Amino acid sequence: MAELPPDQQKILDEQKAQCPFCKIIKGEIPSKKVYEDDKVLAIMDINPAVKGHILVMPKEHYPIMPLIPPEIFEHLFLCTRDLVRAEKKAMVTPSSNVFIANGGAAGQQSSHFMLHIFAREKASELEVLQLKNVEQDKQKVAELTNMLQHNLKIMLKDRYAKFPIPGDTSAQPAAAPHTGVSTLQGQEQLAQLLEANPQLKQAIIEQPGEVKKLIQTNPQLQQFFAGVDVDLLSQKLKEQQSPKEKSSQQHELDKATEQFSGFKPGGKTEEKMPEEPKPPEEPRPPEEFIRAKDLTDKQIMALLEEKEKLRNLLLQDPEQLKGMIPSNEKLRVFFQEADFEKIKRLAKQVDEKHKSPAKDEDIPEKIEQVKDLDDALSRYI
């Protein structure tokens, strides 16, 4: 299973400890077993939809389908195929269904991923599986179709490489060597994906260094950007931008990072900043990127006094701020080799001095915009 962040891993471990199906697998809870091997278990459902209703599950606890590793996935569905055949033979039925629910809204009732096999004698006995056609918003459907046409082949590129269409020269090997710019076909596919995802495109244009660092730490992104020179791509995307698009996107990015650009020489942005309260007690170094470790406590307090929103974030949600630091260059430079707890303590002192308790509504739109950038990048993690 793909490595999860520690907080998610903790939730998963807690789920596993309480999962009744994990207990069935261990033999702690009795069940009517139909088939078992080292990776998969099939049991009868105690509340069957039809006679012979079987549940098939991987022995390892996976809450949802996308978390199942490919080798287990393959084994699970090879067994499922044979179990469908077995069930139809045992129940002497002409038809069957395999039913999977991902998510509570879809009817998933257990945190342990499983699929259902139903032997079907008559369509009328399980009409809930009948889909009714409903008039849909044509524009929404068109957007979805377009998105799928662009994205599915990219998402499935490893599986496509296993079963390429004969004569199709666009099939790429699963892991292309990192020799520089990818094939023209690969570039076009990437360009199409970026057009469909403007925030990712913007991140590549404005912060190619950040995107490259993110790619280095993430195996899935590495696969996706295999053979792609991010700097060259960034240059090409910049050239493609119209001046108007450039200025509005620059404006958005400036708004997002303005929180940390207060020391820019000249310090002007396209949007007028709201009036800042009192000037700092001590003069600040006029560098674009400030490092907290280079400042005295008083200078840090002066900065925190000005930057109420940063102060509030330090006090209210330091974990969120810590999460943002790696992907934001100015934050990263500021907190580099700095004592985070000390800065937090200084923020508290400033806050107490101003007697202005942090409020949720004070968290700025700008931080939300930086967060949006993280969301756009994390979608591809």
Partner 1 sequence: MEESIKTKIKGTLVYEDAVCFVIVPEKQATAGHLQIFPHASYTDVESIPKDVFVQMFFVASYGATALFEGLKAHGTNIVLRDGKESNGVYDYVYIDVVGRMQNDNVMNLWQPKQLDEATQAQTQARLKEEAFYVGKEIADEKKEIVLDDDQQEAVDEGNNYKIKNFYRMP
Subset of residues 89 to 128 that bind partner 1, contact rule: CB under 8 A: 89-91, 93-109, 120-123, 126-128
Rounded-to-integer distance, Cα 12 and Cα 66, Å:
14
Residue 192 interacting with partner 1 (CB under 8 A): no
Print the SS3 string covering 47-89: CCCCCCCEEEEECCCCCCHHHCCHHHHHHHHHHHHHHHHHHHH
Sign of the alpha-carbon torsion through 97, 100, 105, 109: positive
Q: Taking contact as CB under 8 A, which single stretch among the options 151-159, 210-218, 222-230, 281-289 is the one that binds partner 1?
A: 151-159
Nearer to partner 1, 4 or 17 (CB): 4
Rounded-to-integer distance, Cα 357 and Cα 315, Å:
10
Rounded-to-integer distance, Cα 360 and Cα 294, Å:
31
* x-marked contacts with partner 1 along 127-146 as a string, rule CB under 8 A: xxxxxxxx-xx--xx--xx-
Nearer to partner 1, 167 or 274 (CB): 167
Nearer to partner 1, 71 or 319 (CB): 71
Minimum Å gap between C-beta 25 and partner 1 is 17
Q: Tell me the longest C-alpha to C-alpha distance in the chain.
A: 86
A 10 A CB-CB count for 208 gives 19
**131-150 as b/e: b if 16+ CB within 10 A:** eeeeeeeeeeeeeeeeeeeb
Minimum Å gap between C-beta 47 and partner 1 is 3
What is the SS3 assignment for 195? helix
Nearer to partner 1, 149 or 320 (CB): 149
Nearer to partner 1, 64 or 232 (CB): 64
What is the SS3 assignment for 263? coil
What is the SS3 assignment for 119? strand
Residue 175 interacting with partner 1 (CB under 8 A): no
Choose among 237, 177, 222: nearest CA to 381.
222
Minimum Å gap between C-beta 41 and partner 1 is 11
Nearer to partner 1, 42 or 194 (CB): 42
Nearer to partner 1, 163 or 277 (CB): 163
Residue 88 interacting with partner 1 (CB under 8 A): yes
Rounded-to-integer distance, Cα 212 and Cα 203, Å:
10
Nearer to partner 1, 6 or 167 (CB): 167
Minimum Å gap between C-beta 200 and partner 1 is 13
For partner 1, the binding residues in 291-320 under the rule CB under 8 A are none
Q: Using the rule CB under 8 A, which residue among 24, 25, 83, 373 binds partner 1?
A: 83
| Token couple for 253 | 């990015």
Q: Taking contact as CB under 8 A, which single stretch among the options 71-79, 300-308, 333-341, 355-363 is the one that binds partner 1?
A: 71-79
Q: For residues 68 and 1, is the Cβ–Cβ distance under 8 A? A: yes
Minimum Å gap between C-beta 147 and partner 1 is 5
Q: Taking contact as CB under 8 A, which single stretch among the options 45-53, 242-250, 326-334, 350-358 is the one that binds partner 1?
A: 45-53
Type and span of the H or E element at 152: helix 138-155
For partner 1, the binding residues in 22-41 under the rule CB under 8 A are 32-35, 37
Q: Using the rule CB under 8 A, which residue among 1, 17, 155, 232 binds partner 1?
A: 155
Choose among 13, 116, 103: nearest CA to 66.
103
Strand-strand pairing, 115-120 and 54-58: antiparallel
Return the residue matching tokens 């091997």: 37
Number of residues that bind partner 1 (CB under 8 A): 87
Q: Using the rule CB under 8 A, which residue among 22, 25, 41, 54 binds partner 1?
A: 54
Nearer to partner 1, 120 or 201 (CB): 120
What is the SS3 assignment for 42? strand
